[in-house]
Structure formats: C-alpha cells, structure tokens
C-alpha cells in the first residue's frame, strides 16, 4: 500500500482513463470555487463529486486521518474568528436578523458583542468543509498521478524548470521521509523504546532517539537529491517531455463541463452573491 501522499499504480478509471492536464483543470477549478464560496451548502456541492472520485480511484481512507487532525486542531482559531462575526452588515445573502440571532453571545468592554450566532456557525462549517474539499481533491490527484506524468505535462505547458524541479522533489520527499520514520521507529521499538506517556516532558525526552537519526537521514536524503540533480545536469539544458500530451474525447468533455460550471459559479458569485453568506 502507498504511503501518505504517494502515487500508487492501479487499474482504475481515474488512473488510466483521465489525462494529467484534465485532472489539473478539474482540481484547479474546484480549488478556486472552494476558496471563494463561504456558504457551507455550496461547499457540500463540491463534497459529492469528491466522494465519487475517492471511490472511483480507490483512495486509501487512512489518508484522511491527517485531515481529521487538521480540522480538530483548527477549531480553536476558526472559532476565535467566528465569534467576532456578529455584525449584521457582514452577511450579504442570509437574512441579517436570522444570521445574527445569538446562540451564546456576550458583550465585552473593548471587543464589543462577540459570540456564536447562526451566521457564525455557518461560517465555521464552511471553513472546515473547505479543508476537507481541498484535501480530498488533492489526495485523489496525488494518488492517481505519477511524478513522470505530472512532469511531462508541466514541461508541455512550458512551466518554468525551477518550478517543475521543486514540484518533483516535493512529490517524492514526503513519502521518502515517511519510510525513514517507519524504519527508525521499527529499529527503536526493537530496542524497547516507546513514546506512550501522558507526561509531555517525558514525551519530549523520549523523542530524542527518534529525532537524532531522523535529522541525520534527512540531511543524507537532501544530499542524495542534490547529487541526483547534478548528475542529471538540471538547469544546463532544455528538458523535453518523454511522451506527448494526447487528450481523449472524455478529457475534452470533462474539461469543458468543468470550465463551464466554474464560469457559471464565478458569474453567480460576482453578480448575485451566490456562495456568500
């Protein structure tokens, strides 16, 4: 099974039937709408196709453990931002009276009226759904697109070579670091090492046998990447893609529908406040 954020070759329609450029267009449009929409009901429209893509690509659901952790850890700053949204003028679409109906609101001497309202709750839901939506589409893209396919597509699109290099390194770095961590953890556990303590001071002290070899291996990995780059003479010539970009009929259909729907969403947002609270 693939590590987190690692491509795995599988015989699925998303792996074999959809070109990388099509995936880039679809996920770019989805990310644009997800970033502009603040109504959780509109965000849910993006969750439905994400679920279908996850099932079609057979994405490991274990990848979403990190997303769940991110959502939980972001609750505190998101809530701090939401409790300040009690001004009726902040809401463009929702009924101002309903949106500012207090759930738990207090008036402070300096901050003024702060707390949770129906409108701020909807804003919080949209913020957390955005994390889920963006992560879902990014996971599907990474899991179904190899580094070679992505590099060839970026070269065909005339993307600057430094950008392609950074993307290629990032594509491989995280899975490789995960393997390093797994190997270190296995070796330390064989020596009786454990990190299961309730005392945070003990956890920090016991983490040293993990951090020291990890830092050494990370430095070695960086040196290996540098040497590999020098061997391939990166930056000294004009690289060419190893395969031409060939789009099928289904690719044109998917990109056409995606672009049209995105333009409709942007038009509704710009002229009718569709997607706003």
pLDDT in tens, 252-277: 999 999 999 999 999 999 999 999 98
pLDDT in tens, 69-120: 889 888 888 888 888 888 888 888 999 889 888 888 787 777 677 888 899 9
> What is the Cα–Cα distance from 165 to 223, expressed in whole angstroms?
15
Model pLDDT, residue 23: 94
pLDDT at 230 over 70: no
Residue 102 pairs in a beta bridge with: 117
pLDDT at 202 over 70: no
Q: Higher pLDDT residue, 222 or 33?
A: 33
Question: pTM for the full model?
Answer: 0.85
> What is the Cα–Cα distance from 153 to 249, expressed in whole angstroms?
18
Domain boundaries, the chain: 1-145+247-277, 147-245
Q: What is the three-class DSSP state of 120?
A: helix
* Signed CA dihedral, 28, 30, 31, 35: sign only: positive
Let me know: does 115 contact 29? Beta carbons within 8 Å: no
> What is the Cα–Cα distance from 202 to 4, expressed in whole angstroms?
28
Number of residues in the chain = 277
The DSSP result for 200-246, as a single string, is HHHHHHHTHHHHHHHHHHHHHHHHHHHHHHHHTTTTSS----SS---
């Amino acid at each position: 099974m693939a590590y987190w954020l690692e491509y795995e070759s599988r015989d699925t329609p998303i792996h074999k039937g959809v070109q990388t450029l099509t995936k880039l267009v679809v996920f770019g449009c989805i990310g644009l709408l997800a970033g502009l929409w603040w109504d959780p009901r509109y965000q849910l429209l993006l969750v439905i196709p994400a679920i279908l893509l996850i099932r079609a690509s057979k994405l490991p659901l274990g990848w979403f453990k990190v997303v769940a952790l991110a959502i939980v850890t972001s609750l505190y700053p998101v809530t701090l931002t939401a409790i300040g949204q009690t001004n009726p003028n902040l809401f463009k679409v929702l009924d101002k009276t309903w949106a500012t109906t207090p759930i738990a609101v207090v008036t402070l001497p300096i901050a003024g009226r702060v707390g949770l309202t129906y409108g701020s709750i909807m804003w919080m839901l949209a913020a957390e759904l955005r994390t889920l939506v963006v992560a879902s589409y990014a996971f599907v893209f990474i899991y179904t697109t190899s580094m070679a396919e992505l590099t060839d597509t970026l070269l065909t699109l005339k993307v600057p070579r430094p950008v392609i290099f950074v993307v290629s390194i990032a594509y491989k770095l995280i899975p490789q670091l995960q393997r390093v961590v797994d190997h270190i953890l296995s070796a330390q556990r064989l020596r009786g090492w454990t990190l299961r303590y309730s005392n945070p001071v003990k956890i920090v002290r016991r983490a040293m046998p993990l951090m020291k070899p990890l830092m050494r291996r990370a430095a070695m990995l960086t040196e290996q990447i540098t040497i590999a780059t020098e061997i391939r003479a990166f930056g000294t010539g004009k690289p060419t893609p190893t395969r031409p970009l060939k789009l099928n009929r289904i690719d044109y259909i998917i990109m056409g529908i995606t672009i049209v729907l995105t333009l409709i969403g942007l038009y509704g947002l710009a002229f009718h406040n569709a997607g706003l609270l």
